[in-house]
Structure 1
Amino acid sequence: MKTMSADRQLIRFAMAAPYLDRDKEHDLAVRWKDSQDQDARNQIAHAHMRLVIAMASKFRGFGLPLADLIQEGYIGLLEAAARFEPAREVRFSTYAGWWIRASMQDYILRNWSIVRGGTSSSQKALFFNLRRLRAKLAQGDQRLTDQAIHQEIASALGVSLADVQTMDARLAGNDASLQAPAFNGNGNGGEGEKLDMLVSDAPQPDELVTGIIDGERRLKWLNSAMGRLNPRESRIIKARRLSENGATLEELGTELGISKERVRQIESRAMEKLKEALTQCDPMIGEMA
C-alpha cells in the first residue's frame, strides 16, 4: 500500500508541473547551456516528468516497481537536459525520449534477471519486442506453431532463430534459487537444498587419494623396471615412450650411430623387458597389455 501511495504522489507531482511552450523551453535551455543555471535545468526536467511516467507505464509488464522505473527514467531525463543543444531547434521531448527509454531499458536488463542478457543492440531489440511480436502473431493466426512464430520474429528483428528460442525460454521462467528447498518425488520438501542435488564431475575425495597412492606406486614400479634395461635401451624408451615429444626412429638412429630398424628392434626388446618386470609387480598389467 505504501508503494502505491508513493507512486500516486509522484504522479500527482508530475502532473502539477506546468507545460512549456517552445519559446519558454528554448529560453530555459539556453540559460542552462550558456550559464549552467541549475534552476533552468530543473524546470525543464520537472516539466517533462509526464513523459517519464508515460514511458515507465509501458515497461510495467517486466514486473519491476513503477517508482524504480520512474527514477531511472528521471536519470535519463537529466542526462538529456545536460546534453541538449537548443541551437538545433528540436523540441526537448523529442530529444529526451531516447535517453529516458535507454535508461529504463538498461535498468530492466540489469535487474530483470541475475543472468546478464541483452548486451548487444539486436539482443536488446529481441528482449523488449519478443513478447509483443509473439502475441501479435499468435492473435493473427492461432494455427501457427512455436517454430513458425520464432522464425517470423527472427526475420522481423534480424536475429538468428536460436537467439529467439533462447530468449523466449528465458522470458518464460523466473530465476530459481539454488538455496530453495529440494523436493522429493512426492512433491514434499526435502531436508536439503537444490544446490545439494547438483551433479559434480570432480572426483570424490577418496578417489583423489586412491589416485595419488596408485600413481606413486606405479611410478615406483616403473623406475624399478627401468633399472633392468641397459643404457641404450633406457635411452630409447625414455626418448620414444616417456617424452612429451617422442623422438623418431631416424633421430635416435643418428644419435646412437645405428640404423632406424635397429632402433626399432632394441625398443621392442626393451618393451618386453618392461612388461615382464611390471607383471611381476602387478599381474593385472600383464592382462591389460
Structure 2
Amino acid sequence: MASMNVSPATALTVRDPWALVPSLGNLDAYISAVNRLPMLTQEEETRYARQFREHNDLEAAGKLVMSHLRLVVSVSRQYLGYGLPHGDLIQEGNVGLMKAVKRFDPEQGVRLVSYALHWIKAEIHEYILKNWRMVKVATTKAQRKLFFNLRSMKQSLKEEAAEGDTHRTTLTDREIDTVARELNVKREEVMEMETRLSGGDVALEPTIDDGEESYAPITYLADEGSEPTRVMEAQRRDVLATDGVALALQALDDRSRRIVEERWLKVNDDGSGGMTLHELAADYGISAERIRQIEVAAMKKMRKALADYAA
C-alpha cells in the first residue's frame, strides 16, 4: 500500500474543520495520531449524533467518526493472523465505522462504541473472506461463523487435550461434536470447513523458471481440445469427413464409388471391413491388380475434390 490515508473525510465529504488526521505515508504514524484524538463524553456523542441525524450536520458526523478511529485500530489487530495488510484491515474497518455513524440512533440509549463494533467487524470479515484466498471459503452464515471461530476453538481444544496428544492436526469426533454444539452448526459443516482451512492455494503456473520441465497444475489441467484453433480444426475435419467425402464420392463413377465404399467406408456388424481386393475382383470378373488400380485412381480423384471443397 503506497499511502496510508484512512481518514474518512473523503468518504463522508466532510470539509476542513475536522480533518484532524493528515494524509500520512506511515501506518505507525497514523495509529499514533488517531490514538491522540480526544474521546467524546456521552453528552457530546448524543449531541453530535442528533445534529447529524436531524440536520445532516457532516461536521458532527466527522467528530463521531474521528473519536472512534482508535476503536477500528484495536479491532483490526485481532485479524492480523490472516496474513492481510494491517492498513487494509483498518481502511475496511473505517468503512464499517462510517456506516455505523450513518445509522446510529442516539435515542436508543446505546453508546456508539457498542453499536459500531458490529459494523466494523462485519466490514473486516467481508474483506477477509474476499481476499484471504483466491477461492472464497465461506459463503453461508454457518461457514462464516466457522471460518472466524474454528481455528481458535481448535487451539483451545488442543490445549485441553491429554499430554502427548497436542500435535494432532485434525479434530477428533468428540471435538467436532463440541464445536458443532457450541457454534450451533452441523458437524458435517465443521468437518468441511476444517478441510477447507487445512488446504491452500496452488499456483496454476510455475513461479520459478529454472529451465527444467514444469509440473505445475497448468501442465495437466490445460485442455488442448478447448483451444480455439484446435476447435476450428476439429470442426473442419468433421465437415470434410461428412459433406466433403459425400461430395467427393459423387465425382466417381458407380464402379469406382463401390470399390472405395467397400474398401474404406463399410463396417460390418462384427466390426470387420468390407470386401477384399480378391472378392471385388471375383465380383467384377477382373484381376485384383485391376481393382487396386481403380481404387488408386478413385482415391486420387477424391483427394482433389476434397481439396477443392476445403478451398
Bucket of the pairwise TM-score, normalised by the shorter protein:
0.5 to 0.7
Question: How do 1:100-139 residues align onto structure 2 when only pairs under 5 Å count?
Answer: 100-139=120-159
**Matched AA of 2:111:** R
Cα shift readout 1:112-167 (whole Å, capped 9, x = no counterpart): 11112322211110110010111011111144762423343233223333332332
Q: Name the residue aligned to 1:244.
A: none
Q: Distance in 1 between matches of 2:240 and 2:176?
A: 54
Check if 1:31 corresponds to 2:14.
no
For 2:171, which of 130, 146, 156 is the aligned residue? 146
Task: Please say if residues 182 and 189 of structure 1, whose CA atoms lie closer than 8 Å, have aligned partners that are also in contact.
Answer: no
Deviation at residue 208 of structure 1 after TM alignment: 5.0
Q: Name the residue aligned to 1:286.
A: 269
Question: How do 1:154-173 residues align onto structure 2 when only pairs under 5 Å count?
Answer: 154-173=180-199
**Matched AA of 2:149:** N
Give the root-mean-square deviation of aligned CA atoms.
Answer: 3.7
Name the SS for the 1:116 alignment partner.
coil
Cα shift readout 1:30-84 (whole Å, capped 9, x = no counterpart): 1111111111111111111121111100011111111111111001001100111
With 189-198 and 135-144 compared, the bigger mean Cα shift is at: 189-198
Question: How do 1:228-267 residues align onto structure 2 when only pairs under 5 Å count?
Answer: none
Name the SS for the 2:33 alignment partner.
helix
For 2:200, which of 153, 174, 183 is the aligned residue? 174
For 1:197, which of 220, 227, 235 is the aligned residue? 220
Name the SS for the 2:269 alignment partner.
helix
Name the SS for the 2:110 alignment partner.
coil
Cα shift readout 1:185-216 (whole Å, capped 9, x = no counterpart): xx995257531222649599699579848974
- TM-score w.r.t. structure 2 length? 0.62
User: Higher helix fraction: Structure 1 or Structure 2?
Assistant: 1
Q: Distance in 2 between matches of 1:213 and 1:28?
A: 76
Q: Distance in 2 between matches of 1:202 and 1:158?
A: 47
Q: Name the residue aligned to 2:304.
A: none
Q: Name the residue aligned to 1:41.
A: 61
**Matched AA of 2:183:** L
Q: Distance in 2 between matches of 1:192 and 1:146?
A: 33
Q: Name the residue aligned to 2:275.
A: none
Q: Distance in 1 between matches of 2:208 and 2:65?
A: 50
Q: Name the residue aligned to 1:272.
A: none
Q: Name the residue aligned to 1:226.
A: none
Name the SS for the 1:28 alignment partner.
helix
Task: Please say if residues 129 and 137 of structure 2, whose CA atoms lie closer than 8 Å, have aligned partners that are also in contact.
Answer: yes
Q: Name the residue aligned to 1:235.
A: none
Q: Distance in 2 between matches of 1:59 and 1:85?
A: 28
Name the CA shift for 1:26/1:130 in 2 (closer, same or farther; >3 Å). same
**Matched AA of 1:286:** D
Task: Please say if residues 203 and 216 of structure 2, whose CA atoms lie closer than 8 Å, have aligned partners that are also in contact.
Answer: no
Q: Name the residue aligned to 2:27.
A: 7
Runs (5+) with no aligned partner, structure 1: 221-277
Name the SS for the 1:27 alignment partner.
helix
Name the SS for the 1:285 alignment partner.
coil
Q: Name the residue aligned to 1:232.
A: none
Q: Distance in 1 between matches of 2:78 and 2:88?
A: 13
Equivalences, count: 231
Name the CA shift for 1:202/1:152 in 2 (closer, same or farther; >3 Å). farther
Check if 1:18 corresponds to 2:41.
no
Name the SS for the 2:213 alignment partner.
strand
Q: Name the residue aligned to 2:7.
A: none
Check if 1:56 corresponds to 2:82.
no
Q: Name the residue aligned to 1:90.
A: 110
Q: Distance in 2 between matches of 1:86 and 1:67?
A: 30
Name the CA shift for 1:283/1:34 in 2 (closer, same or farther; >3 Å). closer
Task: Please say if residues 14 and 49 of structure 1, whose CA atoms lie closer than 8 Å, have aligned partners that are also in contact.
Answer: yes
Q: Distance in 1 between matches of 2:150 and 2:119?
A: 22
- TM-score w.r.t. structure 1 length? 0.67
Task: Please say if residues 138 and 147 of structure 2, whose CA atoms lie closer than 8 Å, have aligned partners that are also in contact.
Answer: yes
